[in-house]
Structure 1
Amino acid sequence: MPCRAVALSTVLAAALGAAALLLTTPPADPARASAESAGEMFVCEQVESRYPQVFGRTCGPGRWGPISDFTVIDRRDDGTYRCQSGWAEGPVRISGQNCRPQRG
């Protein structure tokens, strides 16, 4: 009987672990998935769009210098913008030119 209890508790622990993983994994987002495969992605705390330009503040990853073929995502509402060229100033700001909205 003790072996059976150990086996049952092992199966139960594995099932609870799998359930916890499913609950903490975010759902698949097709727009974000296509953005990730298209080039570099910057997630910003604040994004302002003035088409065809997009400006982001407090962005990650912190990269410096000219950038091209990238995506800017607004963390507040998941607005996604695809840009052809731009400039990154570390985690402080991103400016993108020739951008178009993907979502948001």
Structure 2
Amino acid sequence: MPCRAVALSTVLAAALGAAALLLTTPPADPARASAERAGEMFACELVEPRYPQVFGRNCDPGRWGPLSDFTVIDRRDDSTYRCRTGWAEGPPRVSGQSCLAQRG
């Protein structure tokens, strides 16, 4: 019987802890999240512009997935390119479509 009571109290404590975490975590703000993603910047070792596309290699941060309204920076000469849409494949690659040179 004592083992069962200890197991029950452990489960109850875990459930209460999870409930407390949910109650104290602020809800996600979708508008803020999209604004943060919209301003993303990728600094790359090698950037190859082929307008209206731009390709970056060895980039930071190493994010994966679709992108929108982001900037690619060439570390060699600080050239910057603003792209409307694109795709990131972690550190190896970033590709952007509908890009314009901003500086460089």
TM-score range, shorter chain: 0.5 to 0.7
Quote the residue 1:96 is aligned against.
96
Any idea what SS the aligned residue of 2:76 has?
coil
Quote the residue 1:43 is aligned against.
43
Alignment of 1:87 with 2:87, yes or no, is: yes
Quote the residue 2:54 is aligned against.
54
Quote the residue 2:29 is aligned against.
none
- TM-score, length-scaled by structure 2: 0.63
Counterparts of 2:79 and 2:93 in 1: how far apart (Å)? Answer: 16
Quote the residue 1:13 is aligned against.
none
Size of the aligned set, in residue pairs, is: 68
Any idea what SS the aligned residue of 1:82 has?
strand
Counterparts of 1:83 and 1:73 in 2: how far apart (Å)? Answer: 11
Counterparts of 2:93 and 2:41 in 1: how far apart (Å)? Answer: 13
Structure of higher CA gyration radius: 2
Q: Partner letter of residue 83 of structure 2?
A: C
Counterparts of 2:98 and 2:39 in 1: how far apart (Å)? Answer: 15
Q: Deviations over 1:44-64 (max 9, x none)?
A: 000000000000000000000
Quote the residue 2:67 is aligned against.
67
Identity of aligned pairs, percent?
Answer: 79
Q: Deviations over 1:8-61 (max 9, x none)?
A: xxxxxxxxxxxxxxxxxxxxxxxxxxxxxx700000000000000000000000
Unaligned segments of structure 2, at least 5 residues: 1-37
Counterparts of 2:102 and 2:46 in 1: how far apart (Å)? Answer: 17
Instruction: Find runs of 4+ consecutive structure 1 residues off by over 6 angstroms.
Output: none
Pairing 1:5-16 to 2, within 5 Å after superposition: none
Counterparts of 2:47 and 2:96 in 1: how far apart (Å)? Answer: 11
RMSD over aligned CA atoms reads 1.4
